Chain A
């Protein structure tokens, strides 16, 4: 099953039964239905499915208002960069609401944003760093990279009281959903997932680099290097303990972040290891100066041979 089909099924299962669910966004129930992400949406008679106006700023405020009124609001957003227009609400409105706890009631607000990381979109759709939006006001946020985190995050967070953003990858939409098998552990409420345990190195993937790190892990395993693989799904206010404990055993860390921003979530993890002597610290990020201001391929690739060489004793 394709990634987008899998998420569409999860969304439809979660939204079909609860009362007072309002699903809204531009063309969510028309045309391609956001490339299939929002196809066949259905809610109970007490709810609504709204093909909304083109007013991203106001739609974010509208979602917070729904939450304050005890309703479950979900704003499906075709491109995460549209959310730039709603930044005022992400920061100022959310700050007020959570400063007065009783305002939260039982209502919820979830923004499901498609991160445009498929390439060839042109200069105005180059923003792919999910962490930027979570960082501005320490917003709970979760990336969806595979079947395991999708199952967990939708079951644990979607339509639950409070606010969060869920990031969906456009690049992965048409690919088969990755089934990484049984993950070893989940940290917190789905902030981090651990997918393998090995003493050769600790691998940590950020933003939507999970598939690339999964491939690196397989390459290392083929060369007799078993690794511990963590994926950081929630880029802010993360408890790094599990990763730090792993690194204390392996002595080697490889951090991969495919975000384009100047400040990326991986930097926060690496700051934890500042001044701590490790056998190897490898950070794989995009190089500033790379051409992303034109319609070009957006694919982020790891130079696996180089990483494997660097990890050799």
Chain B
């Protein structure tokens, strides 16, 4: 049973990576009119969150929502067609990328404005409580959005009102073109959460099973204690490149020119969830799964 589950998780992570590689190819070919933020490197946390989400739970996302939408919908075509603004897209081509949601699968709000979604999530979590529906709410942000005052306000609101709200902060250390060290003093999220009495948890290493275990525990605690939690996830947003003059550019949005159809693992260490998956299933099995899933995806969007 465990082996079957491992295989499924490995397949899900691979599907998210290969789906993004295919989207990137369309992007490089100039097929999209809208801005799109790839989430290469975010696959492990996206799969883990999707696995932990139960019926009735709500997921509130940010502009970099691709991995989560792919994980929740389990299909590439509706998302690709949404990006192409086609009526057959996931939301009829009316939302595009940065605000893409999927209410049928629990994603009821996505915001392109940094920090905008924390308070909306608090309201949604309060509504869950008022209506007695008993679900948990998860809200995604990053190391950029946690600089907004609305993050602090959201934490205080959630703690004060005893909301079943799990804040997930994807810390990729970059806000568009500036690294944390360039733009601000360090923020100790554990201390910040602790000062408000909110449980803090940290995830790193892209081990999806561990992520599922921790997030599932955070969800259960939030429900049991009527109390929020804050989970910091260390991620590397892959697709970075060097300019001709030797300047490093971390990936933010747009096509990723250094990513192509030939390479699935983009970084040979735990920064890349696919490196971790390959270690877990072995290179031979990894190759077989990659080939199989790529074929399925290409058939799906053909």
Contact = CB atoms under 8 A, between A and B. Distances in A.
Given A55-B156, A92-B113, A66 B123 contact: yes
Contacts of A71: 126-127, 130-131
B301 to A, nearest CB: 25
Given A65-B120, A69-B131, A71-B131, A88 B113 contact: yes
A48 interface: yes
A58 B154 contact: yes
Given A53-B157, A100-B101, A102-B103, A68 B113 contact: no
A57 B148 CA distance: 11
Interface string A85-113: 00011001100100110110001000000
A69 B128 contact: yes
B197 to A, nearest CB: 14
Interface stretch (B69-77, B91-99, B213-221): B91-99
B290 interface: no
Nearest to B113: A92
A48 B130 contact: yes
B160 A68 contact: no
Contacts of B112: 92
A59 B161 CA distance: 12
Interface in B56-85: none
Contacts of B126: 22, 62, 65-66, 69, 71
Contact of A20 (B109, B122, B130, B156): B130
Interface residues of B, number: 36
Contact of A58 (B91, B94, B150): B150
A63 B157 CA distance: 12
Interface in B123-146: 123-128, 130-132
B101 A66 contact: no
B131 A20 contact: yes
Name the interface size band of chain A. 20 to 34
Nearest to B132: A46
User: Which of B117, B121, B122, B127 has the most CB atoms of chain A within a 10 A radius of its CB?
Assistant: B127
Interface of A is mostly: helix
B122 A70 contact: no
Contacts of A63: 123
Interface of B is mostly: helix
Contact of B119 (A59, A70, A92, A96): A59
Contact of A92 (B116, B121, B131): B116
A64 B117 CA distance: 10
A246 B153 CA distance: 50
B123 to A, nearest CB: 2
A122 to B, nearest CB: 24
A65 B130 contact: no
B282 interface: no
Nearest to B58: A69
B150 A64 contact: no
B123 A65 contact: yes
A50 B161 contact: yes
A53 B196 CA distance: 14
A55 B122 CA distance: 13
The 8 closest A-B pairs by CB, nearest first: A65-B123, A69-B127, A61-B119, A58-B119, A58-B153, A55-B153, A62-B123, A65-B124
20 contacts: A53-B160, A55-B119, A55-B156, A55-B157, A57-B149, A58-B122, A61-B116, A61-B117, A62-B122, A65-B109, A65-B127, A66-B127, A68-B109, A73-B123, A89-B120, A96-B99, A96-B109, A96-B111, A99-B95, A102-B103
Given A65-B125, A69-B131, 18 more contacts: A20-B131, A47-B130, A50-B161, A53-B153, A58-B122, A60-B119, A61-B118, A62-B123, A63-B123, A65-B127, A66-B123, A66-B126, A66-B127, A68-B120, A88-B113, A89-B119, A92-B113, A103-B109
